Amino acid sequence: MQTKKVIDYIVNWLEDYATNSGINGFVMGVSGGIDSAVTSALCAKTTKKLICLNLPIHQAPNQFERSNNHISWLKQNFTDVSSEVVDLTATFDQTCADFPKEIQDELTMANVRARLRMTTMYAFASHHKFLVAGTGNKVEDFGVGFFTKYGDGGVDLSPIADLMKSHVFEIAKELGVIQEIQDAKPTDGLWGDDRSDEDQIGASYSELEWAMEFQGDEKKLSIRESEVLAIFRKLNKVNQHKMNPIPVCNIPQEFF
């Protein structure tokens, strides 16, 4: 990958999109992970303003600290970067108190966290008349659908959604993103502990990239390769509702 050219292309794309939309800035949730770090740095390289939000909900301390450290790095290296910490822990706890207990399984409530964050980002975006920038990469958004519908998937534009996870790491290195983020294991930060994306998915991003591009003879695969391919295909199938436009029931014209 021609990393510098890709960076310039995305920055120009962000600039043009915002200008054509009559918008003067971007809002982002910064999680302490590689995707939000790269996306925020790309937004910061434009001439537009950037608001970075750190939105903890019973967050693991190391994730919260990495987020703050990255935001500090952004402010040191770019102009027009501001930030806010909005602790949504009490909001989430009140939601748990209000919801019927029988619907509060672990995955449901993890997704509620993501949707509370989305609501907060759009409150800031609405007030400032900014755009919410998404952080999903190609494997997550179009491979296995590893995001929350109307949560971290609820955005106005997706700057890195055509990049594999390995490409995101290449860009992070080129941009000089702080090493602790480059070294951190990928996690969605929705569980109040330190479980990784690989723990949840059952495969690493490098394995998923391989599966996403695989076109060979399945009979020649190793046991692990077959497992990874099965994981990828299962998630790709079950999460199509996230990747495709909302189905519309088109009524025959003669009915009108």
Secondary structure letter of residue 197 according to DSSP: H
Residue 32 near residue 58, CB atoms below 8 Å: no
Residue 246's SS3 state is coil
Domain limits of the chain?
Answer: 3-197
pLDDT at 190: 84
pLDDT at 185: 87
Q: CA-CA distance, 71 to 51, in Å (whole number)?
A: 10
pLDDT at 168: 97
pLDDT at 171: 97
pLDDT at 207: 96
pLDDT at 189: 80
pLDDT at 62: 86
* pTM beyond 0.85, yes or no: yes
pLDDT at 52: 98
Give the CATH architecture of domain 3-197: 3-Layer(aba) Sandwich (3.40)
Residue 81's SS3 state is strand
pLDDT at 191: 80
pLDDT at 17: 96
pLDDT at 32: 87
Residues of the chain with pLDDT under 70: none
pLDDT tens-digit map of 99-129:
999 999 999 999 999 999 999 999 999 999 9
pLDDT tens-digit map of 115-166:
999 999 999 999 999 999 999 999 999 999 999 999 999 999 999 999 999 9
Burial 96-134 (b: 16+ CB within 10 A, else e): eeeeeeeeeeeeebbbbbbbbbbebbbebbeebebbbbb
Cα→Cα distances 14→9, 50, 118, 120, Å: 9, 12, 20, 22
Q: What contacts 91, CB < 8 A, 6 or more positions away?
A: 57, 116
